[in-house]
Amino acid sequence: MLTISQLAAYAGVTVRAVRHYHAKGLLPEPERDQSGYRRYGAAAVVELVRIRILADAGVPLSRVRELLSAADPEFAQAVRDIDLRLRAEIRERQQHRERIARLASGESLALPPEAVAYLDRMRELGFGERLVDIERDSWILIAAQIPDEVGTFMAIKHAQIEHEPLRRLYLDIESMADCTHDDPRLPELADRVVVFIEAAAAVAHELETGVPEDYQVSDALAHLLDSAFCETFPWATRLLELLEERGWTGWTNIRRLTLPT
């Protein structure tokens, strides 16, 4: 006859596990002998091994008792059911691993690959993190709202950032990040932005990357993106006013004002 420690050693489990199986009603708990010890025979070892094998295979303890007494056909079907559940859990855990990997990669968590590549290219070209951050946040909003259109817009952004005059304008905007709304450089910046708008349209037309009407950002999303721009640059509201004086309105969906006839 075996003590509980010997039983656990034979079956390859811990004493704590044996007591847990006792508490769950999976393994009968023998009466104590005259010395006050519980003694186990070979049948208990066999039963405990079967419990361990089922538990190690991922069978919930709530089903172990059922399987221990099941006939062969019932046991086979139960094993198939458990296998299906384990497969589903493996797929779910794999998805969790992929999400964790995206968390570790930072920007790629919420952005499609082409947007991540665009931000990387900005850094290569010398843009600071402040401007990269506002671009990142803007593309997170765009990708969340209109994911199917990101590729179309991104083709234009890549063309723009490789266009040296437009790139210099971006860099100058960043260099003025902390200026105030009455900065004397703003009117000149507004003039250059108008040139930027017209040049961007020309580049898009030349590369056939223009945005069709069906792919325009909605007014609600454009307002949200414009608000983010104004929150980042204190002078942005004044810049928009200057642009209106020059016949343009908006920022994300910037367009020419219709002049009264």
Average pLDDT over all residues of the chain: 83
> How much is the pLDDT for 7?
92
Quick one: 31 and 119 in the same domain? no
Quick one: 123 and 243 in the same domain? yes
**pLDDT, greater one: 54 or 203:** 54
> How much is the pLDDT for 63?
83
Quick one: 158 and 217 in the same domain? yes
Of 178, 120, 112, 186, which Cα lies nearest the Cα of 146? 112
Q: Decide: 107 and 79 in contact? Cβ < 8 Å.
A: no
Strand, coil or helix: 166: helix
- 216-256 pLDDT, tens digit each: 678 888 899 899 888 888 899 999 999 999 999 988 888 88
Quick one: 201 and 220 in the same domain? yes
Q: Decide: 63 and 55 in contact? Cβ < 8 Å.
A: no
* Domain that includes residue 39, residue range: 1-69
- 59-110 pLDDT, tens digit each: 888 888 888 888 888 888 888 888 888 888 888 888 777 666 655 555 666 7
Quick one: 244 and 119 in the same domain? yes
Checking if the pLDDT of 113 tops 50, the result is yes
- 202-221 pLDDT, tens digit each: 655 544 444 444 446 788 88
Q: Flag whether the pTM goes above 0.85.
A: no
Quick one: 97 and 27 in the same domain? no
> How much is the pLDDT for 235?
92
Question: In b/e form, how buried is each residue of 68-105, taking b as 16+ CB within 10 angstroms?
Answer: eeeeeeeeeebeeebeeeeeeeeeeeeeeeeeeeeeee
Angle CA(50)–CA(54)–CA(58) in degrees, nearest 5?
165
Among residues 69, 94, 123, the one where a domain terminates is 69
CATH code where residue 63 lies = 1.10.1660.10
Instruction: Indicate the number of domains in the chain.
Output: 3
Quick one: 39 and 80 in the same domain? no
- 153-192 pLDDT, tens digit each: 888 888 888 888 888 888 888 888 888 989 999 999 999 8
Quick one: 242 and 150 in the same domain? yes
